[in-house]
């Protein structure tokens, strides 16, 4: 049996309709142990896609969640924002092959979807498929993912050295 996943979900105003439906689907799914909703509603208004993307990705980076599902108009802004969090690999996917390879080949922990791009039925199907994939650290893809992680660590070390040089 597959391990259950802890999922964080979030959206901006343009993705809130799908986010609520997909979050309900996730809560009912046997491969999901918990759903953390970083929302999209912040007080009287909506949070922006960068704020939501950063918050969700940070929970994954801190190991408080295993994966994140983000929704905005195209999915692009959410993926860009989430990718700014060190250690995160976020993708936008609109088809089964991309969803599958994002996990199996790239160990992406964040899936961003576009409410204005992907029909709701397809989005629900893709999220269901996404839950069934697990990255294999012994696969041929693992060495490539390690190259990305190593590069990111080198950049982080370099940035720390520059900060402490002053």
Q: What is the rounded distance in angstroms from the CA atom of residue 156 to the CA atom of residue 152? A: 6
Nearest to 40 by CA among 6, 66, 78, 3: 78
Burial 121-144 (b: 16+ CB within 10 A, else e): eebeebbeebbeeebeeeeebeee
The catalytically annotated residue of 23, 65, 70, 72 is 72
Q: What is the DSSP string of 63-110?
A: TS-SEEEEEESSSHHHHHHHTTSTT--EEE--SHHHHHHHHHTT---E
Give the relative orientation of helices 96-104 and 120-131 as an angle to the nearest 10 degrees.
Answer: 30
Q: Is 72 a catalytic residue?
A: yes
Residues with a catalytic annotation lie at 72
């Amino acid at each position: 049996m597959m391990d259950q996943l802890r999922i964080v979900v979030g959206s901006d105003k343009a993705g809130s309709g799908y986010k609520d439906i997909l979050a309900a689907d996730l809560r009912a799914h046997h491969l999901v142990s918990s759903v953390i909703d970083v929302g999209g509603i912040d007080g009287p208004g909506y949070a922006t896609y960068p704020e939501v993307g950063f918050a969700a990705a940070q929970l994954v980076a801190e190991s408080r969640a295993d994966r994140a599902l983000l929704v905005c108009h195209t999915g692009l802004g959410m993926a860009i924002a989430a990718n700014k969090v060190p250690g995160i690999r976020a993708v936008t996917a609109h088809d089964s092959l991309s969803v599958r390879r994002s996990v199996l080949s790239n160990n992406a922990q964040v899936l961003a979807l576009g409410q204005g791009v992907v029909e709701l039925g397809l989005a629900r199907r893709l999220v269901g498929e996404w839950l069934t994939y697990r990255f294999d650290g012994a696969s041929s893809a693992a060495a490539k993912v390690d190259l990305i992680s190593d590069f990111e660590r080198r950049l982080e070390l370099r940035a720390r050295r520059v900060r402490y040089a002053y």
